[in-house]
């Protein structure tokens, strides 16, 4: 084997010592272990659709069926305003990002418990687990985007320049989702309550976010004020606006969402890194 011989160094490659407080924000491990990050994400994807008849088709069916239900409930029964868009298209745009958000949160938060044997038997940066969960969800998202594009074409939409902002909204949506995922995955190692609380919280958030309706239908006054506390709302609305080209997201609520998303991500990261050294002992 033409393995490069390790140079005779007198500087240790690794120094193992009691945890130091300032190591939290060092993300270089993620890059050094990128092969494993990818391998874990690929495993997730393969396992999700193995032994299913429809396979990856489920990625398309889930948001389509969901959009159909939303279109019926909100559009037909409740007769909410979609800003002139076909309700299915409108709801699909919302659901696609919502699925991305909840998928990342759920995948990331369960990642440590699902891989408990790895955590207690092998060394690698623990961050790989929530991040690989997030990564595998991104692929689903990419596939459902393709269907979105087809839907757009069929309905005769030509995206405007606002489309350029879509990646911006997605980025902060991912920060928010990953931050929540990191936080809850670390907490779930010691406190399994998180596993039970999270789905309930997500369900609450689904109806508290403009997935099946627009912010415009929220009455002014106190409800509107409370609604604006939800950092996810402008991110979802922002994505839909930039794709469909109708409506707008206020600068204030937009920047509020971005700041909160960043703060939650950083908090999640710090909490995760501070707790990660005990994972193997506790899990």
Partner 1 sequence: MSSDLVISARGVGKTFRVASTQHRATTLAELVAQKLRKPFTRHQREREFTALDDVSFEVRRGEVLGIIGRNGAGKSTLLKILSQITPPTRGEIDLYGRVGSLLEVGTGFHPELTGRENIYLNGAILGMSRAEIGREFDDIVSFAETEQFLDVPVKRYSSGMYVRLAFSVAAHLRPDILIVDEVLAVGDLAFQRKCLGKMDEVAREDGRAVLLVSHNAAAVRALCGRALLLDRGQVVHDGEVNDVLRSYLDIEPSGAAVLTWTDKTAPQEGGFRYSSVSVLNSRGEPAAVLSHDEPFTIRLEYELDRPLPGLRVGFLMQTTEGVEVCGSNDVHVADPEERVPGRQVSECRFPAHVLNEGRYQLRFGADVPNGPVYILTPYCLEFSVEDHERHGE
The residue range among 2-10, 134-142, 254-262, 267-275 that interacts with partner 1, by the rule CB under 8 A, is: 2-10
Q: Which is nearer to partner 1, 192 or 224 (CB)?
A: 192
- Residues 149, 154, 101, CA angle at the centre, nearest 5°? 35
* Nearest-angstrom CA–CA distance, 185 and 265: 13
Positive or negative: CA dihedral 32, 38, 41, 47: negative
The token pair at 68 is: 């159909």
What is the contact mask toward partner 1 in residues 29 to 58, using x (rule: CB under 8 A)?
------xx--xx--x--xx--xx-------
Q: Which is nearer to partner 1, 14 or 25 (CB)?
A: 14
| Residue 6 touching partner 1 (CB under 8 A) | yes
Q: Which 96-115 positions form the footprint of partner 1 (CB under 8 A)?
A: none
- Closest contact distance (angstroms) between CB of 264 and partner 1 is 19
Q: Which is nearer to partner 1, 46 or 252 (CB)?
A: 46
The residue range among 5-13, 95-103, 233-241, 257-265 that interacts with partner 1, by the rule CB under 8 A, is: 5-13
Name the burial class of residue 200, with classes exposed (0-12), middle (13-18) and buried (19+) by CB atoms within 10 angstroms of its CB: exposed
Q: Which is nearer to partner 1, 18 or 84 (CB)?
A: 18
| Residue 200 touching partner 1 (CB under 8 A) | no
| Residue 219 touching partner 1 (CB under 8 A) | no
Give the other-Cβ count within 10 Å of 231's Cβ. Answer: 21
Please report the DSSP string for 112-146 in residue order. HHHTHHHHHH--S-TTHHHHHHHHHHHHHHHHHHH
Q: Which 109-168 positions form the footprint of partner 1 (CB under 8 A)?
A: 117-124
- Closest contact distance (angstroms) between CB of 62 and partner 1 is 21
The site for partner 1 (CB under 8 A) is made up of 1, 3, 5-6, 8-10, 12-19, 35-36, 39-40, 43, 46-47, 50-51, 117-124, 187, 190-194, 277-278, 280-281
């Amino acid at each position: 084997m033409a393995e490069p011989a390790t140079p005779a160094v007198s500087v240790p490659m690794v120094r193992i010592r009691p945890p130091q407080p300032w190591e939290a924000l060092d993300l270089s491990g993620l890059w050094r272990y990128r092969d494993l990050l990818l391998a874990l994400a690929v495993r997730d994807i393969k396992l999700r659709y193995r032994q299913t008849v429809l396979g990856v088709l489920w990625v398309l069916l889930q948001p389509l069926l969901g959009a159909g239900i939303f279109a019926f409930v909100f559009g037909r029964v409740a007769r909410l305003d979609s800003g002139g868009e076909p309700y299915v298209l409108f709801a699909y745009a919302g659901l696609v990002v919502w699925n991305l958000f909840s998928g990342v949160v759920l995948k990331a938060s369960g990642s440590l418990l699902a891989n408990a044997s790895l955590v207690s038997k092998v060394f690698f940066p623990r961050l790989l687990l929530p991040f690989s969960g997030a990564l595998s969800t991104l692929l689903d998202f990419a596939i459902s985007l393709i269907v979105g594009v087809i839907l757009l074409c069929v309905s005769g939409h030509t995206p405007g320049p606002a489309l350029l902002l879509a990646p911006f909204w997605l980025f902060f949506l991912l920060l928010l989702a990953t931050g929540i995922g990191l936080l809850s995955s670390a907490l779930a190692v010691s406190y399994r309550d998180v596993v039970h609380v999270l789905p309930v919280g997500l369900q609450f958030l689904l109806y508290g976010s403009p997935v099946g309706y627009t912010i415009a239908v929220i009455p002014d006054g106190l409800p509107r004020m409370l609604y604006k506390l939800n950092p996810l709302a402008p991110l979802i609305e922002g994505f839909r606006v930039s794709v469909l080209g109708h409506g707008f997201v206020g600068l204030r609520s937009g920047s509020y969402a971005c700041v909160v998303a960043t703060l939650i991500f950083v908090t999640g990261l710090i909490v995760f890194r501070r707790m990660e050294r005990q994972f193997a002992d506790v899990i």
